[in-house]
């Protein structure tokens, strides 16, 4: 049965990076998300009694609400800890936070500046740690986005996705997901704003196995030409507010507007992780058009994250080799 196949797939206890998943695990998450979306009532008590803590160093609408709603729909509950006033480790060592949290709750979602904070929390905590966005990656977003493409086009591997803009956390997770799925992703950034070299190398190593097609250019018109889907994100991510003015100047030619989108396939859709800075990386005419799937993406965060929670927190899915509390 497909659900059981999917449930036995995740080998890593945490979701820190898309790179910790295998190709079949990415497919399993998308498969389970489709089941959860189609038959939510079958999962309403799957995580009964489980508690998930959310610690966020940055603001959030979608990630916070979808984890809170998702956990509730699975029968569990969440506790939100606002860390926007100070970094997570400002008051005590991450290892001590981990060793406290694992005594009380069953999982941790972190939204951080430093990716290393998520890595270290996962290393120290005996309970699953989920990256709810770091400066380096946004794995839940990319999985939700590929789920959205899969829904729209049936087979996301055949979709030419053009990502236009900053080579940021979202671009990194999309690259790794495209690589694992054997998809086709063309990334167009201004010079100096390319995705990180180590992520590109890792994605290319994966792509050599999966036959994914990963392309990199500074020419956004070339990238978008013939694309089935065009994706953009803010030019200045959270934490880069001081660079916003300079970035507005550099990225202006990379705006996704009707003229750029006209180069894509006639059936092309528009994607954005949101929040959007309307009038900057995307115009109202594009984001509000019938081509725009941005609210489907936002909805699908819920279904995909429910699948991730089931796979990481569900009974029988804990790794026996983890050390720590009796709760594990
Ligand atoms: N896309 C996304 O993660 O949105 P939030 O920053 O609102 O969580
Ligand atoms: N790149 C953006 C994504 C927000 C969901 C940021 O990090 O702010």
Residue 27 is predicted with a pLDDT of 94
- C-alpha to C-alpha distance for 9 and 238, rounded to whole angstroms: 33
Q: How far is CA 10 from CA 103, 307, 314, in A?
A: 23, 11, 11
Residue 20 is predicted with a pLDDT of 95
What residue numbers bound the domain in which 179 lies?
141-297
Torsions phi, psi of 21, nearest 5?
A: -100, 155
Distance 310 CA to ligand 1 centre (A): 21
Check whether residue 45 and residue 184 sit in a common domain.
no
- C-alpha to C-alpha distance for 319 and 128, rounded to whole angstroms: 9
Residue 88 is encoded by which pair of tokens?
């997570």
Check whether residue 78 and residue 164 sit in a common domain.
no
The verdict on residue 21 lying in a domain is yes
Residue 10 is predicted with a pLDDT of 79
The verdict on residue 327 lying in a domain is no
User: Which atom of ligand 2 is the closest one to the Cα of 133?
Assistant: 7
**Ligand 2 proximity of 170 Cβ (cutoff 6 Å):** yes
User: Which atom of ligand 2 is the closest one to the Cα of 60?
Assistant: 5
Distance 237 CA to ligand 1 centre (A): 11
Distance 295 CA to ligand 2 centre (A): 16
The verdict on residue 94 lying in a domain is yes
- C-alpha to C-alpha distance for 295 and 46, rounded to whole angstroms: 26
Check whether residue 202 and residue 87 sit in a common domain.
no
Q: Of 110, 234, 235, 281, which is best to mutate to test ligand 2, by the most ligand atoms within 8 angstroms of its C-beta?
A: 234
- C-alpha to C-alpha distance for 222 and 204, rounded to whole angstroms: 20
**Ligand 2 proximity of 199 Cβ (cutoff 6 Å):** no
The verdict on residue 26 lying in a domain is yes
**Residue with CA at minimum distance from ligand 2 atom 6:** 237
The verdict on residue 325 lying in a domain is no
Check whether residue 43 and residue 113 sit in a common domain.
yes
Residue 196 is predicted with a pLDDT of 98
Check whether residue 266 and residue 161 sit in a common domain.
yes
Torsions phi, psi of 185, nearest 5?
A: -130, 125
The verdict on residue 172 lying in a domain is yes
Say if CB 193 and CB 167 are below 8 A apart. yes
Check whether residue 67 and residue 123 sit in a common domain.
yes
Number of domains within the chain = 2
**Ligand 2 proximity of 297 Cβ (cutoff 6 Å):** no
Residues annotated as catalytic are 111, 138, 141, 233, 273, 301
Task: pLDDT tens for the chain, 328 residues: list them.
Answer: 454 454 555 789 999 999 999 999 999 999 999 999 999 999 999 999 999 999 999 999 999 999 999 999 999 999 999 999 999 999 999 999 999 999 999 999 999 999 999 999 999 999 999 999 999 999 999 999 999 999 999 999 999 999 999 999 999 999 999 999 999 999 999 999 999 999 999 999 999 999 999 999 999 999 999 999 999 999 999 999 999 999 999 999 999 999 999 999 999 999 999 999 999 999 999 999 999 999 999 999 999 999 999 999 996 333 333 333 333 3
pLDDT in tens, 214-263: 999 999 999 999 999 999 999 999 999 999 999 999 999 999 999 999 99
Torsions phi, psi of 160, nearest 5?
A: -90, 110
- C-alpha to C-alpha distance for 65 and 127, rounded to whole angstroms: 21
Check whether residue 122 and residue 175 sit in a common domain.
no
User: Which atom of ligand 1 is the closest one to the Cα of 66?
Assistant: 8
Check whether residue 124 and residue 62 sit in a common domain.
yes
Check whether residue 128 and residue 155 sit in a common domain.
no
**Which residues make Cβ contacts (< 8 Å) with residue 125, sequence separation at least 6?**
98, 99, 101, 102, 108, 324
The verdict on residue 54 lying in a domain is yes
CATH of the domain at 238: 3.40.50.1370
The verdict on residue 328 lying in a domain is no
Check whether residue 180 and residue 114 sit in a common domain.
no
**Residue with CA at minimum distance from ligand 1 atom 3:** 63
| Predicted TM-score of the model (pTM) | 0.94
User: Which atom of ligand 1 is the closest one to the Cα of 298?
Assistant: 1
Residue 315 is predicted with a pLDDT of 65
Check whether residue 48 and residue 133 sit in a common domain.
yes
Distance 168 CA to ligand 2 centre (A): 8
Check whether residue 160 and residue 224 sit in a common domain.
yes
Residue 251 is encoded by which pair of tokens?
């990225």
Distance 322 CA to ligand 1 centre (A): 30
């Amino acid at each position: 049965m497909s659900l059981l196949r999917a449930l036995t797939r995740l080998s890593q206890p945490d979701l820190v990076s898309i790179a910790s998943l295998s190709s079949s695990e990415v497919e399993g998450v998308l498969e389970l998300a489709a089941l959860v979306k189609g038959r939510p009532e079958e999962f309403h008590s799957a995580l009964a009694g489980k508690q998930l803590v959310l610690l966020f160093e940055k603001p959030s609408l979608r990630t916070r609400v979808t984890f809170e709603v998702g956990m509730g729909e699975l029968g569990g509950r969440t506790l939100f800890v606002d860390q926007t006033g100070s970094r997570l480790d400002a008051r005590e060592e991450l290892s001590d936070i981990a060793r406290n949290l694992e005594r009380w709750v069953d999982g941790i979602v972190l939204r951080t500046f430093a990716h290393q904070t998520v890595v270290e929390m996962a290393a120290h905590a005996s309970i699953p740690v989920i990256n709810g966005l770091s400066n380096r990656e946004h794995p839940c977003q990319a999985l939700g986005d590929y789920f959205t493409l899969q829904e729209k086009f049936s087979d996301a591997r055949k979709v030419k996705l053009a990502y236009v803009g900053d080579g940021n956390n979202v671009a990194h997770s999309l690259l790794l997901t495209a690589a694992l799925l054997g998809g086709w992703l063309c990334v167009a950034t201004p010079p100096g704003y390319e995705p990180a070299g180590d992520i590109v190398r890792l994605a290319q190593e994966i792509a050599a196995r999966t036959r994914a097609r990963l392309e990199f250019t500074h020419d956004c018109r070339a990238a978008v030409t013939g694309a089935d889907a065009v994706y953009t994100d803010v030019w200045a991510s959270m934490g880069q507010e001081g660079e916003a003015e300079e970035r507005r100047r550099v990225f202006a030619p990379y705006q996704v507007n009707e003229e750029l989108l006209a180069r894509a396939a006639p059936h092309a859709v528009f994607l954005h992780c949101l929040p959007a800075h309307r009038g900057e990386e995307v115009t109202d005419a594009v984001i509000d058009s019938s081509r725009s799937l941005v609210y489907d993406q936002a909805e699908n965060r819920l279904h995909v994250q429910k699948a991730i929670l089931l796979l990481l927190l569900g009974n029988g899915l804990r790794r026996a080799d983890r050390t720590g509390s009796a709760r594990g």
